[in-house]
Amino acid sequence: MYTLQRYILMALDPVHIGTGGYRLGRVDLSIVREPGTNLPKIPGTSLAGAARSYAAMRYEKQRCAGQGQNELSKNGHCGLPTCPICYTFGSIKGTEGGNSGRVNIADAQLLLFPVHSLAGPVWVSTVDRVKEAGFTVTAPNMERGEFATTLPGWDKPINLGWLLLKLNQGEISIAPPISLQAWDALSERLVLVDDSLFSQIVNSNLEVRTSVSIDPLTGAAKEGALFTYEAIPRATWLWSDVVEDDYSSGEKPWPVSKKFNGKKDKAGELLGETWKKPLDVVKSGLTLAEYLGIGGMGTRGFGRLKVVGDWEVSHG
């Protein structure tokens, strides 16, 4: 049984998934990018890590969170076939090895990128990008330097950051395949540009912040030691595909009816939802990223990501 589920995500905070190293360049701490396009992305491994941790938290099984070798799971994951966390995400267990899990989460790619303009905040994308995410799009052919917009009555050039673009007045419409939360707020603030400009617009409008270095020994700010870091800005929309590949169909080996929604069961009461398949476990974990965030700088107000909608693209 194979199912492809697509998730649309909205950043509620700036999201920083670092490359894990310092770079000489515009900022000290840069974020992960797609090699070909140079566009920022959220790695699928980061999404999977967050989904796993939060699902394990919800299920009150901290041992099965994490990578199986950290302080949460010193002795490895439980690895039991009856554990929805290990069944879904796989397990690593001591010398016995483990299993590889039933889901694969793809990197989240940029869908709609917020930029300040004369018209206020607008969300920028390209025809190919919104099409690829499964939206229905009508738009004129645009040359480099042109834009088309859903801004009602807009008849002027527009600036995106410092870049000034010329209006193409061809007909434009963009519609998601299902109703998405928060879509109404931006459906009349969309700007489409040519592919060749998109990366430039994104990279010159990323959130860049400056922070004070903290001395790890004393906890005090190091004098004069500032560092800059970049982040995907708040209100950015992204999309990611989750593939469930499960050779066993039908009811899962974990005790759905007893562990979940059972009146006597503490975890079930807290859970308040039924996990019938691995995709349910993923969604449950990802949904908590709206409150707990992903990646991040280890501070509050960073990394919260909201699932605004998801749908099944195909199955077989």
- Which residue lies nearer to Zn ion by CB, 278 or 293? 278
Among 47, 65, 86, 192, binds Zn ion (CB under 5 A): 86
d(CA 50, CA 281): 12
d(CA 242, CA 106): 6
Residue 92 as a binder of Zn ion (CB under 5 A): the answer is: no
Residue type at 141? N
Identify any residues that bridge with 125 across adjacent strands, giving them in sequence order.
Answer: 192
Instruction: State phi, psi for 256 to the nearest 5 degrees.
Output: -55, -50
Instruction: State phi, psi for 289 to the nearest 5 degrees.
Output: -65, -15
Least Å distance, CB 281 to Zn ion, is 11
Least Å distance, CB 264 to Zn ion, is 22
Residue showing the smallest CB distance to Zn ion in the complex = 83
Among 51, 64, 151, 307, binds Zn ion (CB under 5 A): 64
| Coil/strand/helix, residue 257 | helix
* Most distant CA atoms of the chain, gap in Å: 67
Instruction: State phi, psi for 195 to the nearest 5 degrees.
Output: -50, -40
Least Å distance, CB 93 to Zn ion, is 9
Cα separation values, 214 from 178, 198, 231, Å: 46, 36, 20
Least Å distance, CB 66 to Zn ion, is 11
Least Å distance, CB 67 to Zn ion, is 13
Cα separation values, 137 from 29, 30, 93, 260, Å: 36, 33, 47, 41
- Which residue lies nearer to Zn ion by CB, 86 or 281? 86
Helices 278-292, 44-58: crossing angle, 10 deg rounding: 90
First and final C-alpha spacing in the chain: 6
Residue 8 as a binder of Zn ion (CB under 5 A): the answer is: no
Kindly indicate which of the ranges 22-30, 56-64, 219-227, 302-310 contains the residues binding Zn ion, using the contact rule CB under 5 A. 56-64
Instruction: State phi, psi for 236 to the nearest 5 degrees.
Output: -70, 140
- Which residue lies nearer to Zn ion by CB, 82 or 210? 82
d(CA 228, CA 209): 5
Least Å distance, CB 77 to Zn ion, is 5
Residue 65 as a binder of Zn ion (CB under 5 A): the answer is: no
Residues that contact Zn ion, how many (by CB under 5 A): 6
- Which residue lies nearer to Zn ion by CB, 89 or 113? 89
Among 8, 50, 83, 115, binds Zn ion (CB under 5 A): 83
d(CA 39, CA 134): 20
Least Å distance, CB 91 to Zn ion, is 6
Among 72, 78, 167, 313, binds Zn ion (CB under 5 A): 78
Interaction pattern, residues 111-150, with Zn ion; x per rule: CB under 5 A: ----------------------------------------
Residue 72 as a binder of Zn ion (CB under 5 A): the answer is: no
- In the complex, the residues that contact Zn ion under the rule CB under 5 A are 64, 77-78, 83, 85-86
